[in-house]
A and B are shown apart, each in its own frame.
Chain A
Amino acid sequence: MKLRKISAIFFYLLFSSAALTSCKEDSDMQPKVGTLDVAIDHVVGTATLALNTGSYATPAGDQFTVSTFKYYLSNFTLKKADGTTHLVPESYYLVDEAVPASKTFTLSGIPAGDYTSLSFTIGVDSARNVAGAQTGALDPQKNMFWSWNTGYIFTKLEGTSPQAPNTALVFHIGGFKAPHNTIRTISPSLKGATIQVQGTQTPTLHLKADVLKMFTGPTTVRFTQLYNTMGGANSVVVADNQAAGMFVVDYVHAN
């Protein structure tokens, strides 16, 4: 009996001191951090993207279907009104229409605060293209890696079009070396919204990725002429289109 009492007191002291320690760490030692969810919708103009079954047309009048649509987003950076920025470390994501779960992901370890803009890269930074064996989203097993000419395929769109010479569309956008660098870092407008990162709630950033914007923008892509690219000058053309407005913020959900 006596022993049990002593041990109860002992445990009480132990836990209360642990609780005190952690309170102190929270308030004084470590800044508060929170998370931000990102959810992406894939659309073709006003329509929702449907692999294989959906039939679409570019504004120029070329018809097409899509069998594969996947791309890398990386290096998410959040910026406060006072100009301070936070780069989310190791933020590499492979978003694949065929894998619904890949269209939502969580950025964590973000210092608490109100963020008024964000940026991210469509693709993978040049350093990580040449850094050897990788894990996670960058695992070469994802079939987004060129072995004979080292580097990641940043965006892979495959499908068909009656306008293409052999009806096949193959858009493998990648390459990180000048003059054929296709890395594009963009900062889509939050439309006046603020991303409030706190410990207690998880805001969600809803992005829309429009497939059509690969073929419109600075250069109109016609499938009679451009239907197959795997890096090089034509991939740069598509990357410039992508950077010009493929990703827009739909809305920011506060919690």
Chain B
Amino acid sequence: MARYSWIALRCAIALASFFLVGCNKEGTSPAWEVPGATVPANFPAPVYAAAQNPPTREAYELGRTLFYDTRLSRTGAVSCGSCHQQSGAFANADHRLSQGVEGRLGARNAPALQNLRWKTSLLWDGGATHIETMPLAPITDPREMDETLDNVLQKLNADPAYQQRFAQVYGERPITSYQFLRTLAQFTAALTSANSRYDHYVRHEANGALSAAELRGLATARQKCAPCHGGELFTDESFRNNGLDATFPADSGRAHITGRPQDAGRFKVPSLRNVALTAPYMHDGRFHTLAQVLNHYASDMVDSPTLDAQFRRPNGRLGISLSEQEKSDLVAFLHTLTDSAFLADARLAE
């Protein structure tokens, strides 16, 4: 009798601890779902729809492991996450230019990685046209990760943990470039920022109150920063010359891709989402503050043959007419585009 009750007790403990563990897991992530799997109510239809690479937890988490794995670089020192940090909306805070293997400096400022599902092209010059093949650019660039696709696959295939996780997702071995690129895209496509205070305001949700200054700034942005920074993504995905330089000897931007002289000095219009966190600004990271950026548009613009027509005013002046009040309102509004939930989402972290 004593023996049976001892067994019963042990069973009870085992059962209880099982449920406790279960409860604990449920408690940390109620209804765990892959981030960015659903389209935010105020967003347009994505370019890279979830159906093109249906998100699953296993593939997403494997993609996250790849994103933060320094073995994607030749020296084993640089991962995607090295230059794209969650705390800075997956841009590289305080770095004017991206820093690759052996301290090599890249040509441009690492852009924020957010809402990539909606991008019609990637990189400052739009040279990459698909979210799945885009990582091949930084992986193989000698100034960035300086690695070959062959070597990356060799390293992944030599790792039993990767072998097992890839086989779990794809049901076959070895790990192929297709599996590698599709898996990485599971993570990068998930980086959706759509829960800023502005989003709550525009969707009439709780915590969506904007101050008078922020509302004035929103009106100014819609009037004077559109169409370039228009729409709910705050970019029209176009390439424009915003009057930074008179000539473009070092970096011709879009012309580097198209070979057309009319594209010289044109760069992809970045989104304004999380812009308060993505300093320094511009393709070469030349501005450190939002105030400097606004001063550039208001009064410091430089003329060149390919300067965007938006910046040629009827009075012959260049740029956007902005009063000091409008500038300060704009800065107030831009801070409402900071998405704290995105920056703190544990599912996106290393």
| Chain A residues engaging chain B, CB cutoff 8 angstroms | 129-135, 139-141, 145, 147-150, 177, 179-180, 231-233
Contact = CB atoms under 8 A, between A and B. Distances in A.
Contact of B136 (A131, A135, A140): A140
B212 interface: no
A145 B139 CA distance: 13
Overall SS of chain B's interface: helix
B153 interface: yes
B17 interface: no
B205 to A, nearest CB: 34
22 contacts: A131-B130, A132-B185, A133-B133, A133-B182, A133-B185, A140-B149, A140-B177, A141-B153, A141-B176, A141-B177, A145-B136, A147-B133, A147-B139, A148-B141, A149-B127, A149-B256, A149-B257, A150-B128, A150-B129, A180-B259, A231-B259, A233-B259
Q: Indicate the size class of the contact surface on chain B.
A: 20 to 34
B137 A133 contact: no
Interface in B123-139: 123, 127-133, 136-137, 139
Given A132-B130, A132-B133, A140-B181, 14 more contacts: A131-B130, A133-B178, A133-B182, A135-B178, A139-B176, A140-B177, A141-B153, A141-B177, A147-B139, A148-B123, A149-B127, A149-B257, A150-B130, A150-B133
Contact of B128 (A131, A133, A147): A147
Nearest to A231: B259
A148 B130 contact: no
B324 interface: no
Contacts of A135: 176, 178
B258 interface: yes
Contact of A147 (B140, B256, B257): B140
A239 B114 CA distance: 39
A235 to B, nearest CB: 10
B132 A133 contact: yes
Contacts of B260: 179
Interface in B154-182: 176-178, 181-182
B190 to A, nearest CB: 16
A131 B149 CA distance: 18
A177 B257 CA distance: 10
A171 B136 CA distance: 22
A140 B133 contact: yes
